[in-house]
Chains A and B, each alone.
Chain A
Amino acid sequence: MKKILFLFVAVLLFVTGCSKSNESSSSTSKSGLDDKKIVKIGWQNSGFPSPFTFDTNGPGGFLRNSFLFDTLTWKDDTGVIPWLAPSWEVSEDNLEYTFTLEKDVTFHDGESLTADDVVFSYNYFKENTFQWNTDMTKVASAEKISDHEVKITLTEPYVPFISEIAGKLPIIPKHIWSKVEQPLEYQEDEALIGSGPFTLDSYDSATGNYKFAKNENYFKGDVTVDEVQYLATENRMLSLQNKEIDGGMTFNYTEVQQLEKSGYGVLKSEPTGSAVRVVFNLKNEKLSDKNLRQAIAYALDRSSIAEKLTGNSEVMVGSAGVIPPDSTWYKKDVKQYDYNVEQANAILDKLGYEKNDAGIREDLDLSVLVSSTSKEAELMKSMLANVGIKLDIQTVDSATFSTAMAEGNYDMSITGHIGLSGDPDFLRLWFSGQASNSLAGKGVFENEEFQKLASLQLKQGNEAERKATVDEMQDILAEELPTLVLYHRPFYYVYDSSVFSGWFNTYGGISDGIPLTDNKAVFVDYK
């Protein structure tokens, strides 16, 4: 028995001893940091980062993939910039895009990247879907003109092509992928060979940690750090304070303020590019009446909802026209619904929903569907009770949520989104039922005028004309209110500026409007 006791003490000593020995080991590795510049960022596991297997649950997978692979165009703080293609020409009918390619680009394995690879990639992705919503049905063909010139022909005019396809679709090496028939199952090291600024040194699928190493021969310019690590920490802000990571994203403004006071750098996403919104079921008998939807809009004090949830008094109340006020596509005098209880009551009375003695409109009980706990729903419940509407909150997990949405088994639902500052074509995708993010697309908005404008803006090469069309679309959305944006939620990137401070906000958001800071261009000295 004494032996067992001894063993137990030994284990205890071992565990306590470990913490000490580890401190010394981390200090030795810190002295090693002096010659190597390493940036550690907190983000959850995003899957094996090949173009076919990255995780599409959130933008992490696409961003990890973009570190390894390049696209013809890219975006930085000024907007769309040339990347693999230094220049391009568009035919007058907006159907043909001719790209000139950079000459001395090599893949990580030393093979050079030529027009063949671009043509191959566009054809390969027509067969095998790229995971980050890229509508390849718009591409008719890709042809090689010379070793460094490619012509891409579209099936119909698609003005957002430069950012929404050319800026998203990774160019993959023909010599590797031409042999691959099941790209989803191809998870060899070769599947990660691209031309990007980093190579993947290691990825641990169990823990979800990534280590990217600098590509020494990057065509676009010097890569300014030696290593970028993505660590799947449970609580980013705590890990940041514990020095486990050097930067991480959060929505919590109170935390942001504390950390800013203690000397951390903070970058707020601008434009916000995101929204938390109520989706109305337009097939619902009562909610199909736009007057009721408007009454609900008047009854909700959305600035107070936003203030309570973000912890920040400087809030951006949701625009009724969906596009956030800080986007260049926003229409300035679009109709808005300020908090106005009298007006809400007046509309509801007029609609014939009468209050009983207790002040409750008995004929009007609605429910709101939320996935995971939603404080917005709680606040809405008390605000709607003020005008006599009884709101029932239904909480379900996300798969159940989207099934209910798809089947139309809901009155209202609350969802969060990003991508609102990118190309305004998202309005068409959201409300036409063509794209199927249930949070966005399933509630088809059957408004002929809107659908007409939505297809028109796709063809308008002249930006001013397109803006006018998008303005009209916002007017319709604001009047009809198929959805009510509660607020535009800011993202904060909090970082240790002594480690790396070159972060910037991408104009309109990375790719299709991702409002995060981990744009690969941050680490490349290309100007």
Chain B
Amino acid sequence: MITGSVLLSSTVCDREAWLIAHQIEPDQFNPFIEIGRLIHTESYKNNQIREISLPGMKIDMIYEQGQMVIVGEIKKSSKFLKGARLQLLYYLNEIKKRQVQAVGKILIPKEKKQITVVLDEQSIDELNQAIKNAEKIISLPRPPQRKKSSFCSKCGYEEFCWS
């Protein structure tokens, strides 16, 4: 199933996208995953609305700013911005189908950064392209072959892939 995190990972590693799509989660005791989890729970603690779960989506934060609805996605660093943007576009598009217009924000508390993501015609094309690509990956009967990359050493699947 396509989800926000499948789209995100498909920009980094096909194998990761396949595994996530098949509910084979990364090692939950991996130190980088634990840090990420901590940043998620400790940042923006005082915000009133937090985490909303919908099919294929786990929205970190949704709140109103003036007339606008903001969908916030908390990230540890700006390392995977391309994927984070797709993830937000996917959320924005899904909630638009439910008649809610919103703007996305990638929130990187550690870097004190906020990056706005807007769902316009061009980005919808981009999103659809990415969905098509991800669907192709996850419909494979087996996980795509492992490939060594610079991301492996900090990935929660490192020990799974390279054991």
Query: Do chains A and B interact in one complex?
Result: no
Which residues of A does B touch, CB under 8 Å? none
